[in-house]
A and B are shown apart, each in its own frame.
Chain A
Amino acid sequence: MENEQLDMTENKALELIENMILSAKREIHDNGFYFMLWGYLVFISALIDYFLLVQTYPKHATIWAITMPLGGVISIIKGFKDKKSQRVVTYVDEVMRHVIIAYGISLFLVCLVMPMTSKNWQSFYPVLMVIYAFSLYAIGGIVKFKPLQFGAFSIWAMAVVSFFMSYDIQLLILALGVLTGFIIPGHLMNIRFKKNV
């Protein structure tokens, strides 16, 4: 691009503005990694928990204590790596960051407080699913990715059903929920990302 072009026509200037804004808008960083990571971790954990529960193994929920911190560590490492290679911060990134922080705090509070009161175990997974769906719907809207919002609706519906189910069935519903809300949209997002690179 040349240094000074004061003879640039008005139409040319408008075209340039449009092209640059469009070019910046095309920045898609999200390759669906976090959706796939957390989707598979929750999916596997829920199924293992379910099978150990039906086998009447007393510490059936121990798997969560392994997989969830593992997911946290992987996410933090990936987050640092991504931040290093990120050359531009868009407003979408900024809004996403706030939504993810709000999601993380909500999830942390639910996971911390609800198990303390055993009578609330019945609604633990359904409440988690409602929070999952809330953030999926918001993120889907921000990044304009419909599969995430369809996933959110399916998780909301499953959460409602789940409130009326026993704990073991809730685990199966949770596995199905993350399959439709995280794993499938995550893979679709990854395909979209590869197409745009």
Chain B
Amino acid sequence: MFKELDPILHSQLRLAIISLLISVKEAEFNYLKEKTKASSGNLSVQLQKLKEAGYIEIEKSFKDNFPLTTCKISNAGIEAFENYVKNLKQYIQVKK
């Protein structure tokens, strides 16, 4: 029986964000923007969705008097990502 792929993660930009955050301890907004090549507005919206799902933690602070947004994957996010990859593998194996 196939489990449905998590709709929160099954979106190109959100999946890219989570894949980046799973590889690092924390990352700044501009780093994610550069790596995903997304627009600031789009990235902000998707980060907010991931935060609402409890998959990431967002910390807002200041650096050299400029606002700084730092993102970090949460334990729920790690679990969701692992489940997503597991389910994805099942789909791919069946299609082979």
Q: A residues near B, CB below 8 A? A: 1-6, 8, 10-11, 13-14, 16-17, 19-21, 23-25, 27, 84, 87-91, 93-94
Contacts and interface: CB of A to CB of B under 8 A. Distances in A.
Contact of B26 (A10, A20, A89): A89
Nearest to A18: B19
B74 to A, nearest CB: 16
B24 A91 contact: yes
B73 to A, nearest CB: 12
B7 A88 contact: no
Contact of B20 (A23, A91, A93, A94): A23
A91 B95 CA distance: 35
Report which residue of A17, A84, A89, A94 has the largest number of chain B beta carbons within 10 angstroms of its beta carbon.
Answer: A17
B16 A10 contact: no
B25 A1 contact: no
Interface string B1-37: 0000101001111011001101111111011000111
A20 B20 contact: yes
Contacts of B35: 20, 23-24
A10 B24 contact: no
B58 interface: no
A24 B24 CA distance: 7
Given A2-B12, A10-B95, A14-B88, A87 B31 contact: yes
A27 B24 contact: yes
